């Protein structure tokens, strides 16, 4: 079948502390991986641009995002209360980013919980809207499950599932976790025999869209007067290392010059747009969760955790939180 169209990574939570922030062209009938991703990505990013309402630039020169685009991409902000922190500003929360993966579940970075805890901070609620400080809806976080709860201390284990007090607003779209999209090591020979577009290179090196509520500049990571987190923006990133189901993470860099991710973007999703195997349009997949990025924030590099490498954790933790996730796609559907 062929679609119709062509060890922990570190801390990058935004903490407004007083001194430091802790810191290919083919034919239309082609079924190649590049064709699947290129045509789908073009359509997906065109949709995002239309939803944004305009080309205005925002945080670290990323594209500003409307409430409609935030909802369409399942993007949410994590509000971390710092009233118990003795070295933090009291008038601003710490911020992280996340993605809605079930009506009552958000996937984000584990250090968005661990780092604030060291400062007596509390991951209090999830905010829905392009402006975390606007009048958007929010839901309390009532339970959490992290990789550490299951004894997962391997490299790249920077994932956490948050259980919300009630379902997200109906406008917010649940983003698919493509836990079976790529063949495993054990399935490589079968994928070769079946002519899978994901053999031998997996997803290859595509461009992805990432979303986050982070700082507008590097200065905001150390200067309280320059604090500017809380506004959602979109950034195109180019994958630099392979995305594989057995690889804990992958490296990216911004597509455009003078752009980058910054403190507060931790936990934000990297989305891939892939054509549906039955020709039902474009599927939006969450293929990465931002764990860390280099400084300065402009023209930096990012490391994303690959959720598929932690599928057992995600399936078990979601069951334990009462909202079981289910695999929704399999690479064999594209063969």
Are 286 and 279 within 8 A, CB to CB? no
What is the distance of C-alpha 235 from the center of its chain? 11
Residue 330's pLDDT band, with cuts at 50, 70 and 90, is: very high
Residue 58 reports pLDDT greater than 80: no
Residue 28's pLDDT band, with cuts at 50, 70 and 90, is: very low
What would the pLDDT profile of 217-236 be if each residue is shown by its tens digit? 888 777 777 777 889 999 99
β pairing state of 137-146 and 160-164: antiparallel
Q: Prior bond to 205 cis, omega within 30?
A: no
Distance (Å, whole) CA 19 – CA 24: 49
Distance (Å, whole) CA 264 – CA 95: 5
Secondary structure E strands in 168-320: 207-212, 233-239, 249-254, 269-275, 282-293, 302-305
Residue 23 reports pLDDT greater than 80: no
Distance (Å, whole) CA 146 – CA 107: 10
Distance (Å, whole) CA 300 – CA 254: 7
What would the pLDDT profile of 64-95 be if each residue is shown by its tens digit? 899 999 999 999 999 998 878 766 665 677 88
Lowest mean pLDDT among 138-147, 192-201, 220-229, 275-284: 220-229
Report, as an integer, the average pLDDT of 163-172.
98
**This prediction's pTM:** 0.85
What is the DSSP annotation of 170-196? Answer: TTSPPPB--TTSS--GGGHHHHHHTT-
Distance (Å, whole) CA 65 – CA 269: 14
Nearest to 115 by CA among 34, 250, 22: 22
User: Given this model, what pLDDT does residue 308 score?
Assistant: 96
């Amino acid at each position: 079948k062929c679609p119709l169209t062509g060890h922990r990574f570190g801390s990058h939570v935004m903490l407004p502390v007083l001194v430091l922030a802790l810191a290919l062209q083919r034919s239309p009938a082609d079924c190649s991986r590049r064709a699947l991703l290129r045509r789908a990505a073009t359509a997906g990013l065109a949709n995002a641009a239309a939803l944004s309402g305009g080309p205005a630039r925002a945080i670290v020169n990323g594209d500003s995002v409307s409430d409609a685009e935030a909802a369409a991409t399942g993007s949410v902000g994590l509000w971390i209360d710092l009233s118990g922190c003795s070295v933090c500003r009291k008038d601003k929360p710490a911020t992280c980013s996340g993605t809605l993966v079930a009506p009552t579940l958000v996937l984000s970075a584990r250090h968005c919980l661990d780092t604030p805890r060291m400062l007596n901070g509390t991951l209090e609620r999830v905010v829905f809207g392009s402006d975390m400080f606007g009048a958007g809806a929010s839901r309390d976080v009532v339970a959490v499950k992290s990789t550490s709860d299951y004894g997962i201390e391997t490299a790249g284990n920077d994932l956490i599932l948050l259980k919300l007090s009630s379902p997200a607003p109906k406008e917010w779209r649940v983003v698919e976790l493509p836990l079976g999209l790529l063949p495993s090591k054990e399935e490589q020979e079968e994928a070769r025999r079946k002519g899978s577009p994901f053999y031998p290179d997996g997803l290859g090196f595509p461009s992805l869209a990432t979303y986050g509520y982070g700082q507008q500049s590097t200065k905001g990571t150390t200067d309280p007067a320059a604090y500017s987190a809380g506004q959602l923006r979109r950034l195109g990133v180019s994958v630099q290392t392979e995305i594989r189901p057995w690889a804990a993470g992958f490296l990216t860099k911004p597509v455009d010059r003078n752009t980058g991710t910054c403190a507060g973007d931790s936990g934000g999703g990297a989305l891939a747009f892939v054509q549906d195997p039955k020709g039902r349009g474009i599927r939006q997949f969450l293929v990465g969760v931002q764990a860390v990025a280099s400084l300065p924030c402009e023209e930096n590099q990012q490391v994303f955790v690959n959720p598929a490498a932690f599928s057992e954790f995600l399936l078990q933790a979601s069951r334990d939180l009462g909202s079981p996730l289910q695999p929704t796609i399999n690479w064999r559907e594209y063969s």
